[in-house]
A and B are shown apart, each in its own frame.
Chain A
Amino acid sequence: DTAVSQTPKYLVTQMGNDKSIKCEQNLGHDTMYWYKQDSKKFLKIMFSYNNKELIINETVPNRFSPKSPDKAHLNLHINSLELGDSAVYFCASSQVGEGKWAPLHFGNGTRLTVT
């Protein structure tokens, strides 16, 4: 009964390729996120999506594009992969309506390695 599941767990690919990471949550949350965790463990938000609104972090290259077919899914598509994209990507969800203390629920991460 995994609450937030993302696939694949590991992804190894070559520079220039296009890849996708999928995320699904079964918590009924209204908001989903993608975070990038770099080699120094620094966690940065990339996107958040709340039903009607996609909020994009302007520092994220436009090679990254989130796609949300419904509120339970938020997939991350990456075009023309670069070496610097190697990181662990975390999907998360929350119910924003629960108030400002509503916790995020994270998936287990996808380790992307670009060679």
Chain B
Amino acid sequence: GNSVTQMEGPVTLSEEAFLTINCTYTATGYPSLFWYVQYPGEGLQLLLKATKADDKGSNKGFEATYRKETTSFHLEKGSVQVSDSAVYFCALKVGTGANNLFFGTGTRLTVIP
């Protein structure tokens, strides 16, 4: 089946610290992988994506590399800011159907000054 497992939170970091949020997946077929971010009081927004193995998605200083050999898509940022405090969701999508987007449980990140 298709599923996403991401590290349990919450994660608390000091400003300018290095961030890693782990995400691994199982999928039938060849999935596309995504990270979504949910800021307080808002809906989810697409942060970055990768559509095939070895692709690197990047946005706002965040990066994630699609690793087929380890079935992983870990989210990283070299220097977090207070404004990065949010809940981060890893997700995978298989095919083009409407009902085949699978989310992880979310990881809450709090960045303190």
Complex formed: what's the CA distance from A43 to B29 in Å?
Answer: 23
Which of B11-19, B36-44, B68-76, B77-85 forms contacts with chain A? B36-44
**Which listed residue, A44, A100, A106, touches B93 by the CB 8 Å rule?**
A100
Which residues of chain A have C-beta atoms less than 8 A from B46's C-beta?
Answer: 103-104
Q: Is A43 touching B93 in the complex (CB atoms < 8 A)?
A: no
A49 and B98 alpha carbons, distance in the complex (Å): 8
Nearest A-chain residue to B87, judged by Cβ: A41
A32 to chain B, nearest CB (A): 9
Q: Are A31 and B96 in contact (CB under 8 A)?
A: no
**Per a CB cutoff under 8 Å, which of A48, A99, A103, A106 touches B34?**
A103
Interface status of A76 (Cβ within 8 A of chain B): no
The CB with the most chain B CB atoms within 10 A, among A41, A53, A55, A99, is that of A41
Is B105's CB under 8 angstroms from A41's CB?
Answer: yes
Contacts A100-B51, A103-B46, A104-B46: A41 and B108 contacting too (C-beta < 8 A)? Answer: yes
Min C-beta distance of B5 to chain A, whole Å: 12
Cross-chain contact B45 with A100 (CB below 8 angstroms): no
- CB-CB contacts of B85-100 with A at 8 A, as 1s and 0s? 0010100011111110
Interface string of B21-45 (1 = CB under 8 A from A): 0000000000110101000011111
Q: Tell me which residues across on chain A come within 8 A of B101, comparing CB atoms.
A: 45, 104
Which A residues have a C-beta under 8 Å from some C-beta of B?
4, 31, 33, 40-45, 48-50, 53, 55, 57, 90, 92, 94, 96-97, 99-101, 103-104, 106-109
**Chain A to chain B contacts (Cβ below 8 Å), 27 pairs:** A40-B105, A41-B87, A41-B105, A41-B108, A42-B106, A43-B89, A43-B103, A43-B105, A43-B106, A48-B99, A49-B98, A53-B98, A90-B43, A90-B44, A99-B96, A100-B32, A100-B51, A100-B96, A101-B32, A101-B49, A101-B93, A103-B46, A104-B101, A106-B43, A106-B45, A109-B42, A109-B43
Closest 6 CB pairs of A and B: A106-B43, A103-B46, A41-B106, A48-B98, A106-B44, A55-B99
